[in-house]
A and B are shown apart, each in its own frame.
Chain A
Amino acid sequence: MLPSIAARPFSLSWSERRTAAAIRLAAVAKRFYHYEHRTTSLREFFIRAVLRRPLAVRRARFSLEGLTLDIRRGESVAFIGRNGSGKSTALRLIAGIYAPSAGEVRVIGRIASVIELGAGFNPELTGRENVELYGAVMGMKRQEIARHFDAIIAFAELGEFVDEPVKFYSSGMQARLAFAVTVAVEPDVLLLDEVLAVGDASFRERCLARLERFRARGGTLVVVSHDLEQVRRLCERAVWLEQGRVRREGPAGEVTRAYEAASGTG
């Protein structure tokens, strides 16, 4: 009943590989529910089973509906919109963290993402251990991780903190390390959620420079951002989401200005 997140490699012909979209979302929907009641203990589960009460009472809270989008290889696209419009959900669907409620998500190539502050770091582990773990999740070999390690630490400006548990890091340090390790795994598709909103100006500049290099190499970039100036600088295309639906889609300049006009900030 529930589609799983498991991914299965399948073969594409050479010509398909050259022309195929890097990311294809076909009529994708993701529905969330607000639970007025949810059974969270076994004790209650048995009581409710005996009394024949429903285990959960829920109503639809938010849904992303009918998202159809092709993103070409090497393209860079931004999701914009107000808080709660479904931008991060769209990113999580592309990353494969959420299974779609309907529709199909297809991604070609290695995906790396920074979706929450700190690329899924375990606060108890040290910076070094987290880098190794993240590299391993991305399918990097030990030697590969070791080869990139110094560059990652240098980019993140961690210094001696590298062997301290991540829970002692400042939010800026976490963000820097997350970005550094994500870019270092040399993904084909890079997903960033508000990453450039943290950190100081000099770090943001270095990130933008790094992202431009990533794009020059043919990488596909999908970002979620509230900084429209940055969106115009970084992206060719923008998708404006409103309450889980695409309000407008097109060239970044055009869509961001329309969004600004509508929200009265332009």
Chain B
Amino acid sequence: MSEVLVRTSDRPPYALAEVWRFRELLRSLVVRNLRVKYQRSTLGFVWTLLNPLLTVTVLVTVFSLFLRIQIPHYWAFLVSGYFAWNFFLQMVNMSTWVLAEHSSLRRSVAFPPEVLVLAASLARMVELSIELGLALIVLALLHHHAVPASWVLLPLLLLLLWLVTLGLSFPVATLGAFYSDVQHALPIALLMLFYLSPVFYSAAQVPERMRPLYFLNPMASVLTLFQQVLYGGEWPGLPLLLGAGAGAVFLATAGYASFHRRKAVFAELV
């Protein structure tokens, strides 16, 4: 059990190796996170599924019956992107208080605080996988009447979604540690982003000349990929895939760097 610890100003690659050393904590936090949510409520997982299902029902009613968006099988289209969006929304919202949740642990034991953000994101990812699993079954049975080959891309899409989400969660967690009103400002920003992202409409409906600007939103390309693969059952174009990949990697790196630069003082902010 002899290991040597040196505390210096470590750069991100070493900091990530440090997270690996705390994988047991990561695992424990993910399990705890899910257990707290499901064990202590009688309906358990039903609650998590009920919320997106009701939202999807409302959106389908409003946009296919009242506003008449011209997308065939509108429910299938909505299901393809909505769960991914919901993951992003939940996780970014959670990041405002994920550091505060374990503040006493952080003041008593030294461990990399990114573990807390990663654990929250992985717990949400478990939930998303279950939701998507159910969505895939319904889509295959009622929409495609087959299993499209392009669905093998789903793990890659989940990875891109995870990176984009982390890219926003890390700076939000950092801001939340310093400023108390982030949790009030954030829902407004996320609501605006919801309307600027292709969830209840398709990016193809955005006027051509505005699209370069539109796709600056990293969620726009990720959600379009989800819709093309899950709803369309088609192989996405390489430019879109590469663009989304580059955006996701850039955002995750920049977001993590902003967190890493300030994390040393988190334990001193109570």
Contacts and interface: CB of A to CB of B under 8 A. Distances in A.
B5 A108 contact: yes
Contacts of B18: 6-8
A105 B107 contact: no
A140 B23 CA distance: 10
Interface stretch (B138-146, B159-167, B179-187): B179-187
B6 A8 contact: yes
B15 A6 contact: yes
Interface string A34-58: 0000011111010000000000000
- Interface secondary structure of A, over-half rule: loop
B10 A137 contact: no
A129 B32 contact: yes
B28 A5 contact: no
Considering residues A105, A115, A137, A139, which has the most beta carbons from chain B within 10 angstroms of its beta carbon? Answer: A137
Given A98-B267, A125-B32, A186-B1, A2 B111 contact: no
B205 interface: no
B24 A120 contact: no
- Classify chain A's interface size: 35 or more
Contacts of A32: 268
Contacts of A6: 7, 10, 14-15, 18, 112
Interface stretch (A9-17, A76-84, A221-229): A9-17
B181 A41 contact: yes
Interface of B: 1-10, 14-15, 17-18, 21-22, 24-25, 27-29, 32, 101-102, 104-112, 175, 178-182, 185, 260-265, 267-268
A98 B175 CA distance: 20
B264 A95 contact: no
A152 to B, nearest CB: 16
B109 A120 contact: yes
Considering residues A4, A111, A114, A138, which has the most beta carbons from chain B within 10 angstroms of its beta carbon? Answer: A4
A43 B2 CA distance: 49
Contacts of B22: 137, 139
15 contacts: A1-B261, A2-B262, A4-B9, A8-B17, A8-B18, A12-B4, A41-B180, A42-B182, A92-B267, A95-B109, A100-B7, A120-B106, A121-B104, A136-B25, A142-B24
Nearest to A38: B178
Given A10-B4, A120-B107, A186-B1, 10 more contacts: A7-B110, A8-B8, A9-B4, A99-B7, A104-B8, A108-B3, A108-B5, A109-B2, A118-B104, A140-B24
A107 interface: yes
A32 B102 CA distance: 23
B28 A136 contact: yes
Contacts of B182: 42
Given A6-B10, A42-B181, A133-B32, A119 B260 contact: no
Given A122-B105, A136-B24, A5 B8 contact: no
Contact of A119 (B3, B14, B109): B109
Contacts of A141: 24
B26 to A, nearest CB: 8
B264 A5 contact: yes
A98 B268 contact: yes
Nearest to A115: B108
Considering residues A5, A113, A188, which has the most beta carbons from chain B within 10 angstroms of its beta carbon? Answer: A5
Given A2-B265, A120-B104, A96 B5 contact: yes
B177 to A, nearest CB: 11
Nearest first, the 4 A-B pairs at minimum CB distance are A120-B108, A96-B110, A136-B28, A120-B105
Contacts of A132: 28, 32
Contacts of A114: 108
A3 B109 contact: no
Contact of A95 (B21, B110, B179): B110
Contacts of A139: 21-22, 24-25
